[in-house]
Amino acid sequence: MSIGLLGTKIGMTQLFSDNGSCMPVTVLKVGPCVITQIKTINSDGYDAVQIGYSQVAAHLLTKGQLGHLNKSNAPALKYLQEYRVDTPNIFALGQILTVDQIKIGEKVSVRSNSIGKGFAGYQKRHNFSRGPMSHGCKNHRQPGSIGAGTTPGRVFPGKKMAGRLGGKKTTVKNLQVIDINTEQNFIIVKGSVPGKPGAILNIQST
């Protein structure tokens, strides 16, 4: 696995290509991230690199969290993320990772919590078709039968029914990087990414 970056979703807009076609894009603020820990097989049993993102006031973190960050002389960082790597020796504690490692035109995968939509019904949650809307029909948005009769005499686990929708870790793969602003640490990707504006994102090159 390649090391990625943490960032924040700014919002969506649209851009026009050279041939005049309109494309939906999402603006992301990525990094800068600080390497807060390097794990090796000798010390931890596996090779990995931990990065931190989003500097906050020190009093918002616990003493244990501050002690962990002080080992790498890192500031108070709110979010930490670990990545498995094959060669951890090419990284250094306190090293700062920026959008410079992302190139225009390459594909990235973005992982975040999707927008939580609360308790949703069958049509919205599973794209079920509805019943007839004509006069006399009493089955407009109802589920209908959910199982057999005497045999097996129960509803199988995992049956698609109404319930909570969204609010889960979601990954969107192969988003093309349209533009990069290295001064303000912004990147623009084609398409949409999970989460609301302000959501914390995990961005990795594919």
Structural domains of the chain in order of their starting residue, each with its CATH number: 5-128+158-205 (2.40.30.10)
Position 10 scores a pLDDT of: 94
Position 3 scores a pLDDT of: 81
Could you report the average pLDDT of every consecutive run of 10 residues in the chain (206 residues)?
A: 85 90 93 89 90 91 91 90 88 88 90 94 93 90 85 90 94 93 91 93 89
Residues 6+ apart with CB under 8 A from 13: 24, 25, 27
